[in-house]
Copies of this chain bind each other. A is one copy, B any other.
């Protein structure tokens, strides 16, 4: 998940008294964003904490207060999974992600295929055809060459599966104790061949919220693989390329936005949508696909699966009239065979994600400040 933020939108929406002004919906949203931008976010901590890397509220504050403040430009500003660039000759999407997952090898994958699939997926959910990847390695002195071979082999296999090429790279080595084996940063380029416009601001009341498969498998797999918990489970990471399933969805129905649900899980994506679009998202807990082993582990650990990272699932908001066609289209692909409609978009309360629980109640699903699971990707 490349970083993005919607905190400005959150603040903007708090003053959404002008919802019924004569300006168009998009003009209103853009104006509110602009207004919020003028009030700079503040970071209260003096030092980086693990929460700053967890994808939740702390991450956003860091991004806004430090990175966006330093690098402000129109291509960065939407803080989507990738930047859309017009090079005069055609539109591209450009994205990057660093991978620091621990352990490096886990059931169903390793840091290598995670790094390829993650960048492929960021391109795909931006509507692009993934084409070229770069790979930057930071290796710790003493890292076994055999492990590096295993990682690069799985990167190569993942790249072949996704139809992309690793075309450029770099390696740095740091002393023992200055890294944790191997960190990888992949960047990706994809072409925008379709005329679709995707993004949180395209979302409107009446739309349907879809998830492409069961959630939380990657996060729980990593947690178990760390061996710190007294749990054994027959579970593998969901790490997978999503470009085919995404293309099938785009071909089938009008899509408003898509985002892969990595750090922070589905709950974080839905909060970004609700805040970015100034809408309410209502999720039906019983409709959210979760494997029994994942829900069981979550119960034991006191985690909500909605916040647990996936590495091969995405959230899509589509025209509500085409919800079942969207699910049908996804289910024809291996990466989407567990797809389900999990909720709807409503007008009020703007900026909120509400969960209709299995017991008939309703609760707010907010952003977390940090994440209970550091170094999940």
Please report A residues at the B interface, Cβ cutoff 8 Å.
1-3, 43, 45-54, 59, 62-63, 66-67, 69-71, 73, 75-76, 82-83, 85, 87-90, 92, 94-100, 131-132, 134-146, 148-149, 152-153, 155-156, 159, 165-175, 177-180, 183, 185, 187, 189, 191, 374-375, 377
Contact = CB atoms under 8 A, between A and B. Distances in A.
How many copies, total?
Answer: 2
Contact of A375 (B1, B43, B85, B174): B174
A152 B96 contact: no
Given A87-B92, A90-B88, A374 B173 contact: yes
Given A2-B168, A50-B173, A134 B96 contact: yes
Contacts of A45: 145
Given A159-B71, A171-B53, A132 B43 contact: no
B48 A136 contact: no
B145 A46 contact: yes
Contacts of A171: 3, 52-53, 59, 62-63, 67, 98
A166 B73 contact: yes
Given A87-B92, A178-B179, A183-B138, A173 B131 contact: no
A52 B175 CA distance: 12
Given A53-B172, A99-B172, A48 B135 contact: no
A270 B375 CA distance: 41
> Which 4 interchain pairs have the tightest Cβ spacing?
A53-B173, A89-B90, A185-B185, A187-B187
A47 B180 CA distance: 14
